[in-house]
């Protein structure tokens, strides 16, 4: 079993990773001499780090950004590339709701560790392998360039990057919203987001998730609370166990979890937590492999909700335990998404 890395080593790895991302963004955003002007997208988004949607207007409203001349273009596609790997996403003309034409395309993105399914992406082609057969845009960690390739009736081919944050909106911060602008893949934890380079060019940045313990749901009952969760990006051969940790002093209570592969469930040990000491205390929950491995805090991490504590309010409940004790408990999420429980044995107060 690989032991947990010390904090200094983790900080070093994070620094090297961020430096590599900055270098790749600088290389991907570099504009050479004679390059075509950037295209301003009408829409460019990624939903749940999975679905890429892009659309371009036939005529741009921004003078500094070139538009696609729809009267000359016969075919077009979007190329997602990094190094020698390239994926081609077809673009099709469609009528804009406010008039005019749009070039739009949609593709399902995948992480390199994800299992592809041909039925999910029948129109995306992997350029270097077999251009005439369906492929899968399986993106590895790093920065990927976005290039729009157009061809007219005479066969002339133009390649343009996508420009974002150009003009008045470049220095304007969007107002805060209840949800984040980008969300990780809820299944693999990989985060794929649109990033603006210094040149104004849009690129895709793929960040692989670290190991996590993801809470899927918790179910309150008359005599307790049942928690369901799953492990993300963890070793398949490891043996895991769960525990409750009192936030004030680190007192731990073992939790008997039932495992089915990476998925697990357990009932909160309300009697042991409430009986650890008098008073009301807050408990957090962790999942660990062994004494040497890193501990994974349990929570709802793979979400685009900015403040889970405000988005998922939960009430205090009174539970009648099989021993006859009454426990007042509050299962809730913290602002960062961690799962916690506040409990207090109120048997004496109600007797």
Digit-coded pLDDT (tens) for 194-234: 999 988 899 999 999 889 999 999 999 888 899 999 999 88
Residue 73's pLDDT band (boundaries 50, 70, 90)? confident
What's residue 217's pLDDT?
A: 94
What pLDDT is attached to residue 7?
Answer: 75
pLDDT value of position 214:
96
Supply φ then ψ for residue 166, to 5 degrees.
Answer: -105, 135
Confidence (pLDDT) at 53: 93
Q: Which pLDDT belongs to residue 323?
A: 85
Please tell me which of 132-141, 146-155, 301-310 the model is most confident about, judged by mean pLDDT: 301-310
Tell me what pLDDT residue 199 has. Answer: 87
What's the confidence (pLDDT) of residue 225? 94
pLDDT score for 349:
76
Q: Which residue has the higher pLDDT, 15 or 171?
A: 15
Q: Pairing relation of β-strands 41-47 and 51-57?
A: antiparallel
Please say if the pLDDT value at position 117 is more than 50. no
**Can you give the pLDDT at residue 4?**
62
Query: What pLDDT does residue 234 have?
Result: 83
| Residue that wins the pLDDT comparison between 123 and 350 | 350
pLDDT number for residue 134: 40
In this structure, of 41-45, 62-66, 238-242, 333-337, the range with the lowest mean pLDDT score is 62-66
Instruction: Check residue 123 and give its pLDDT.
Output: 43
Out of 4-8, 32-36, 41-45, 216-220, least confident range: 32-36
Angle at 272 between CA 271 and CA 276, to 5 degrees: 115
pTM for the model stands at 0.79
* Average pLDDT rounded to a whole number, residues 163-191: 75
> For residues 143 and 235, what is the distance between their CA atoms, to the nearest angstrom?
26
Residue 118 has pLDDT above 70, yes or no: no
Q: What's the chain's average pLDDT?
A: 81
């Amino acid at each position: 079993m690989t032991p947990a890395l010390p904090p200094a080593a983790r900080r070093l790895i994070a620094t090297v990773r961020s430096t590599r991302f900055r270098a790749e963004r600088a290389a991907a955003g570099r504009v050479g001499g004679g390059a075509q002007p950037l295209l301003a997208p009408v829409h460019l988004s990624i939903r749940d780090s999975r679905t890429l949607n892009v659309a371009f207007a036939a005529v741009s409203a921004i003078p500094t950004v070139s538009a696609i001349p729809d009267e000359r273009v016969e075919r077009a596609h979007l190329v997602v590339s990094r190094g020698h790997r390239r994926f081609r996403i077809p673009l099709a003309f469609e009528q804009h709701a406010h008039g005019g034409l749009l070039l739009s395309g949609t593709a399902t993105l995948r992480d390199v560790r994800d299992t592809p399914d041909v039925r999910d992406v029948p129109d995306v082609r992997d350029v270097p392998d077999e251009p005439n057969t369906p492929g899968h845009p399986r993106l590895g960690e790093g920065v990927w360039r976005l290039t729009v390739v157009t061809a007219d009736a005479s066969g002339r081919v133009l390649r343009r990057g996508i420009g974002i944050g150009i003009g008045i909106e470049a220095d304007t911060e969007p107002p805060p919203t209840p949800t984040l602008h980008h969300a990780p893949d809820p299944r693999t934890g990989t985060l794929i987001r649109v990033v603006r380079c210094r040149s104004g060019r849009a690129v895709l940045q793929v960040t692989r998730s670290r190991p996590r313990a993801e809470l899927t749901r918790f179910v309150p009952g008359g005599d307790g609370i049942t928690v369901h969760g799953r492990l993300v990006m963890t070793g398949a051969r490891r043996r895991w166990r769960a525990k409750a940790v009192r936030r004030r002093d680190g007192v731990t209570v073992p939790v008997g979890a039932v495992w089915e592969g990476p998925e697990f469930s357990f009932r909160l040990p309300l009697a042991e937590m409430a009986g650890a000491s008098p008073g009301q205390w807050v408990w957090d929950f962790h999942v660990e492999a062994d004494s040497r491995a890193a501990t994974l805090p349990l929570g709802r991490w793979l979400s685009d909700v900015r403040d889970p504590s405000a988005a998922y309010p939960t009430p205090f409940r009174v539970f009648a335990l099989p021993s006859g004790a009454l426990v007042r408990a509050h299962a809730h999420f913290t602002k960062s998404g961690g799962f916690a429980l506040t409990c207090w044995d109120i048997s004496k107060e109600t007797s």
